């Protein structure tokens, strides 16, 4: 499920950018690289957010918050 995320994120970005600007290969390849670099942090954020909710719930149950 997370493998097509850079492609799904880059297509709308290219469409929005291409409306007002010309798309050079340097801009396209640079942005594809940046979207691909964001794949791992997005996967980790998706796995980390439920853990943060559980930590907040546990600390509120203990009365620490």
pLDDT of residue 6: 65
pLDDT of residue 2: 58
Is the pLDDT confidence value at 40 over 60?
yes
Q: By the 8 A CB rule, do 28 and 37 touch? A: no
Q: Which domain holds residue 58?
A: 5-62
Is the pLDDT confidence value at 44 over 60?
yes
Is the pLDDT confidence value at 3 over 80?
no
If one counts the domains in the chain, the total is: 1
What gap in Å lies between CA 30 and CA 46, rounded to an integer?
A: 25
Considering the chain, what is the average pLDDT of its residues? Answer: 81
pLDDT of residue 63: 81
Please give the average per-residue pLDDT across 24-50, as a whole number: 83
């Amino acid at each position: 499920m997370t493998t097509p995320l850079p492609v799904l994120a880059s297509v709308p970005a290219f469409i929005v950018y291409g409306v007002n600007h010309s798309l050079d290969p340097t801009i396209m390849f640079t942005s594809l690289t940046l979207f691909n670099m964001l794949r791992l942090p997005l996967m980790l954020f998706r796995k980390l957010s439920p853990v943060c909710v559980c930590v907040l719930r546990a600390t509120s149950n203990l009365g620490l918050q």
